[in-house]
Structure 1
Amino acid sequence: MSVESVPRLVGGAWRMPADGRAIDVLDPADTRRIVARVPAMTPAEVTELYDEAARAARTWGAASPLERGEVLARAATNLRARSSEIAADLVAEMGKTRAEATGEVAKSADFLDYYASWARQPYGQLLADARGGTQTSARSEPLGTVLLITPWNDPLLTPARKLSPALISGNAVLLKPATETPLVALHLARALHDAGLPAGVLGIAVGRTSEIASALLDEPRLDAVSFTGSTAVGRELQRRLAGRNVRVQTEMGGKNATAILADADLELAIPVVAAAAFAQAGQRCTATSRVIADRAVAADLLVGLRKEAESLALGPGAEAGTTMGPLVSERQRTEVLRHIDRAREDGANVVTGGFVPEGAKYEHGCFVAPTVLGDVTREMAIWRDEVFGPVAAVHVVDGFDAAVEAVNDSAYGLAAGLFTTNLASAHEFAARAEAGQVSVNLPTSGWDVHMPFGGFGDSGSPFKEQGAEALRFYSRVKTVAIRYGR
């Protein structure tokens, strides 16, 4: 069976690597299968992308916002028209279920459409000036050339979330997709290219990070970096760029907690929490990883979570009936199992899961059974460390104040949730939870494109993504005073 070799986008043209350098993209449901081969770019080829971006940034930045918006809107239409093909590749390279992949394509198109609509919004304002015969305004301008570094867990959605505000703001963009999942990022590039995005405005830096990181980050023409990934890598990126006039945005790790109070509606809470913990095999930055249960409902909650976990149909994402796919790679599976083993050693009780399933269907894949851990204490590593897998750690508390304290007992601060039927508790929790995203009687995951998104603490930087807030990162403000008379 032949394997497709996918070209890279540079200067508005699709090119194959001259020397045949390539990266094999593997199917996590069966790692014997090569999904595609993508270029393994060299540092010199990355510099070529910056050359193209420098030329394109001037004309794209000077273009009318209406022209930019039309390109984004057409690209959204292209994504939707190719949804079936793109979703199939997303399932193949990342392991999501078909339903999860199809939803990701739809939401990625929504990002393009939403930011296309900003073309008709004001991008400046008039300001009162005490000087006679003078008109003063504040104008929004693009930064220039921005680098987007995106992760493997949402390989289409995260690039779309960053690209859309960057492009509508008038910037040229280099996109560095994760090495494990580069294929659907090239689909996004094709949707924009076919929509009429001018040559050089977007370049895709496909390659091994260890080989091209210096060319990407040490480039003097770089104006901003938006990164989504682990906290360790995000912090290293911040240190590396410190002291330079490069704007940095980091959306990093999470150890999200949902508290279930004694008055919670368990029939609502249990399936919602289970979905937030196990959807996408737990590989979401907003996944519920810590479950904090009031002692009055803890036993029933554990029974319910176990039933939900055991009802999931584990298998290849492309297989009919699958409701939870594999982890993205063998390395990620090994890491998740290490966290579970450490939790056992620390005294946690494995209520269900915690193993690699047996059978021919799972033999060559990166599968881990959905796992519920009980008897978790706040001294355990499983309480503190991000797992990024299908693992829910349950900790028991007494009362509302103890629940809030436990939710906030983390270096991270991305998402927090509460289940209660008491309106006063809901509002107090929203005020006291130290997280950038707070949900009541809802999952910690699932935020729409127009809602500001980002975390506190070790989960992120001051710049938010999504909504109007995202435009602040990709723009600079110039104040202009013009004297037109005496």
Structure 2
Amino acid sequence: MSLPTMQTLAGGRWIGGDDWIDVFDPADVREPYLRVPALTAERVTAIYADAEAGFAVWRATSAITRSAILAKASALLRIRNAEIADAIVRENGKSEVEARVEAEKAADFFDYYAGAGRDGYGSLIHDVRPDTRTGYQREPLGVVLAVTPWNDPLITPARKLAPALAAGNAVVLKPASETPTSALYLARALHDAGVPAGVVNVVTGRTAEISDALLDDPRIAAVSFTGGNEVGEALRVRLAARGVRFQSELGGKNASVVLAGANLPKTVTAVVAAAFGQAGQRCTATSRLLVDRAVHDEFLPLLLAEIAKLRLGPLVSRARQRDVVAHIDLAVKQGAVVALGGTEVPGPGCHVEPTVLTGVTVDMDVWREEVFGPVLAVRVVDGLDEAITAVNDTRYGLAAAVFTDSLAAAHRFLAEVDCGQIAVNTTTSGWDVHQPFGGFRHSGSPFKEQGPEAMRFYTKVKTFAIHFGS
């Protein structure tokens, strides 16, 4: 029996392919459940021509009209929430609650940028010359390539497409091959809302076969990438030679700190949510836990008891499952102790038990490298100074949290921890659409996503002076 298929959007048309990519449900990977087109390099090149033509139309469309279309797309995402959430659950393995929240948040992005697209897009500035009016205005860049990962298959495309489209750009979207259907539902909402042909295009295909066509097309003005450091850093170098603007959101090794005086029951709830939500498969997940020696013996049993209640969803694939288990095995080989979990769950799905490692030292790989799964590494520290030093002892700088009853400690943590996102008495995750988001150092590029900062990446500044005297 042939599998059902989904077409992709290119140049305003829904198209299939001569070849197809299988999509698997991570809860049961024995057989694929769906197929999407495996586009060729030639088809990708044609899509860039479509996007260039779409950009000419979209940039000439008034900002008010563009905003109305984005608002309609947001409404369609809300109307179709249940259907889209089902697709997220099926291809990614999230719980139904997590998937519904993701679909709702994606709609929020288009609501927010529909409003932002109506705001001012420049300013007047003083000029020493008489009878001269001087200012600057922001203009769209052109064709933007958005490369998105499997862990947030709808939110991350929405995070990129909403500001890019509000600014007047055309977009070529390349979703992860493991989770392409969420992106196709997003494209459907935008298409049905009235986005002109060529303004939104989705490339589904095998990266090895289309990467050169996807990355080296001269019509690309900017690339926004979310994914691993190895790929992201190679992209940065590859694009810099052509002067292509690059935005990246890469890895993290996020830490939460529990100080003496913290409300321990509330801290347990926050840490468990931050570490094990989405089975630990999110960039802002807490993967390092630093506990003040003064409260360690009281806090750890509370934490383990709460984690033991969890029943996590699957990881996205067998490969991800094997990789997470390999991280755990290596940590044990290097001297860590499994306080809870530590193994995969037998069966047709890609499950790994929620895992807590103690006895972790700074020279262990599990303390340094991103695991991207349900694994929490615990260390004991003596006070705030040692905690801040330990949080900063990483090449990453995405998110960190501190739990404390001291306002002075909270302010010191905020000032001295070198991360793009700082939380006090709340989780490392959960940043909203209007809040600038992004990391420091090896966690990403200087360009932030979300909020008004995103529009800086998707626009260029043109300065003008008009002499109106005789």
Aligned partner of 1:319 in structure 2 is none
Q: Write out aligned runs for 1:16-95 (5 A).
A: 16-17=16-17, 19=18, 21-95=19-93
5+ residue gaps in structure 1?
314-323
Aligned partner of 2:327 in structure 1 is 339
Partners of 2:33 and 2:186 in 1: CA distance: 18
Q: Write out aligned runs for 1:148-159 (5 A).
A: 148-159=146-157
Partners of 2:92 and 2:63 in 1: CA distance: 34
Note the alpha carbon deviations across 1:91-119, whole angstroms, 9 max, x for none: 00000000000000000000000000013
Aligned partner of 2:4 in structure 1 is 4
Please tell me the root mean square deviation across aligned C-alpha atoms, in Å.
0.9
Q: Write out aligned runs for 1:278-317 (5 A).
A: 278-313=276-311
Structure 1 residue 120, shift from structure 2 partner:
2.2
Aligned partner of 2:447 in structure 1 is 463
Q: Write out aligned runs for 1:135-154 (5 A).
A: 135-154=133-152
Partners of 1:396 and 1:193 in 2: CA distance: 53
Q: Is the 8 A contact 1:179 1:206 kept in 2?
A: yes
- SS state at 1:450 partner: coil
Partners of 2:298 and 2:309 in 1: CA distance: 17
Q: Is the 8 A contact 2:321 2:344 kept in 1?
A: no
Structure 1 residue 291, shift from structure 2 partner:
0.1
Instruction: Return the letter of the residue paired with 2:103.
Output: V
Partners of 1:133 and 1:33 in 2: CA distance: 73
Note the alpha carbon deviations across 1:128-169, whole angstroms, 9 max, x for none: 112122111201100000000000000000000000000000
Instruction: Return the letter of the residue paired with 1:377.
Output: T
Aligned partner of 1:368 in structure 2 is 352
Partners of 2:281 and 2:263 in 1: CA distance: 27
Partners of 1:397 and 1:132 in 2: CA distance: 64
Aligned partner of 2:379 in structure 1 is 395
Aligned partner of 2:201 in structure 1 is 203
Q: Is the 8 A contact 1:35 1:93 kept in 2?
A: no
When the two structures are superposed, what TM-score results if normalisation uses the length of structure 1? 0.96
Q: Write out aligned runs for 1:153-192 (5 A).
A: 153-192=151-190
Instruction: Return the letter of the residue paired with 2:6.
Output: V
Instruction: Return the letter of the residue paired with 1:339.
Output: H
Instruction: Return the letter of the residue paired with 1:342.
Output: L
Aligned residues: 470
Note the alpha carbon deviations across 1:51-88, whole angstroms, 9 max, x for none: 01111111211211111101110000101111111100
Q: Write out aligned runs for 1:366-445 (5 A).
A: 366-445=350-429
Partners of 2:370 and 2:51 in 1: CA distance: 36
Aligned partner of 1:115 in structure 2 is 113
Partners of 2:68 and 2:96 in 1: CA distance: 30
Partners of 2:190 and 2:322 in 1: CA distance: 37
- Identity between Structure 1 and Structure 2 (%): 56
Aligned partner of 1:268 in structure 2 is 266
Structure 1 residue 2, shift from structure 2 partner:
5.2
User: 1:452 and 2:440 equivalent?
Assistant: no
Aligned partner of 2:337 in structure 1 is 349
> Which one of the candidate residues 456, 464, 469 is aligned to 1:480?
464
Structure 1 residue 121, shift from structure 2 partner:
0.8
Partners of 1:412 and 1:116 in 2: CA distance: 33
5+ residue gaps in structure 2?
none
